[in-house]
Every structure is written in structure tokens, then in C-alpha cells.
Amino acid sequence: MKKLSVVLAILFVGILLAGCTSQPAEPAVTATPTAVPAVVETPAPTAEPTKEIVVVVVETPKPTATATPAPEIPTHVITFTQDLTIMPDATAYVKVGTKVIWKNEDPFKPHTIDATSDQLDKYFGSSDAVQIPYGGSLEVVFDKVGSYDYTTGPFQPQVQAKIVVQE
């Protein structure tokens, strides 16, 4: 068994040495084609002068499409603070098309908004109170003139508030 191991070790070393000493093959030589000069016959001069017609082609530039920036949506932010206040105020006066964003910056508790009018329910998507967790927000774009009443709660003093949308 020892002899077999010694023989295999010697064969292995021999194969390694044979692989290390081999030289890479020479790159194959390829013939580069040579250009054969073309023979061009020129016409014999004639007594009559040549007449040339010059055609001028004028291309009109095609109009390029210009990206129209999306119109900026005006925003109004209402913030719930950790000292249980609403900033800037519970009643907001905004124009049609304004995005109202309720943000919760109270790190200790979630805050809720509860629509007290059917008109606001459609913007909230249901008649249930909407809970806004810490760091979260609720965004609503008001597209119709009107007065939209809501209340806040339950972890702060309940506040009667409204969004007044004007032209």
C-alpha cells in the first residue's frame, strides 16, 4: 500500500512538472490580403463641353418632441406633534386641486382622522377613522369646492377640524 502511494505521488508530481514546463504554441500566421489596384478608364475628351445638372435638396428640420413638465400640485401639510397639537391649525383653507397631507410626527402614539361628513368619506375611502402611525402620513387631493369636516383622536384631545376648498 505504501508503494502504491509513493508511485501515485511521483506520477502526480511528474504530471505537474510536465504541465508547468510546456510552452505555449506559436500563433498561426495568416496571410493578409493585398489590394489589387482597379483600372479605371477615363473617357476620351470630346469637342462638346459636358453639361452638369446640379440638384439642391433642402430638408426641413423635423420638430423635436419637448417634454412638458408635470404641473406642480400645491400641497398643504397638517402635522400632529408630540405635545398633542395640530400644526399649523385645525382648519385649512386650500384651493381646488391641492394635496392635503396629514403627517404624524408624534413618536409615542398613532393619531386618527375621522370624517364627520359624507363628502369627506369618499376621499378617505370609507367612513371608518383613518389611523396614521408615527412617521406615516395620509395624502388627499381635493378636487371639488366644499367644506370637509373631520375630528382627530383618540390619543389627543379631540379636535373639530375642517378643510375648506375654494376656487
User: Is residue 68, in this structure, part of any structural domain at all?
Assistant: no
DSSP 78-107: EEE-TTS-EES-SEEEEETTPEEEEEE--T
- Which three cell numbers mark 74? 400645491
Q: Which domain holds residue 81?
A: 75-166
Burial tier of 78 (Cβ tally within 10 Å: 0-12, 13-18, 19+): buried
Q: Distance between CA 93 and CA 75 in Å, rounded?
A: 11
User: Is residue 92, in this structure, part of any structural domain at all?
Assistant: yes
Specify the number of domains making up the chain. 1
User: Is residue 81, in this structure, part of any structural domain at all?
Assistant: yes
User: Is residue 30, in this structure, part of any structural domain at all?
Assistant: no
Residue 33: cis peptide before it, omega within 30 degrees of 0:
no
User: Is residue 149, in this structure, part of any structural domain at all?
Assistant: yes
pLDDT tens figures, 98-111? 999 989 998 888 88
pLDDT tens figures, 21-72? 555 556 556 666 666 566 666 666 666 666 677 777 777 777 777 777 777 8
Burial tier of 84 (Cβ tally within 10 Å: 0-12, 13-18, 19+): middle
CATH at 160: 2.60.40.420
pLDDT tens figures, 49-63? 666 777 777 777 777
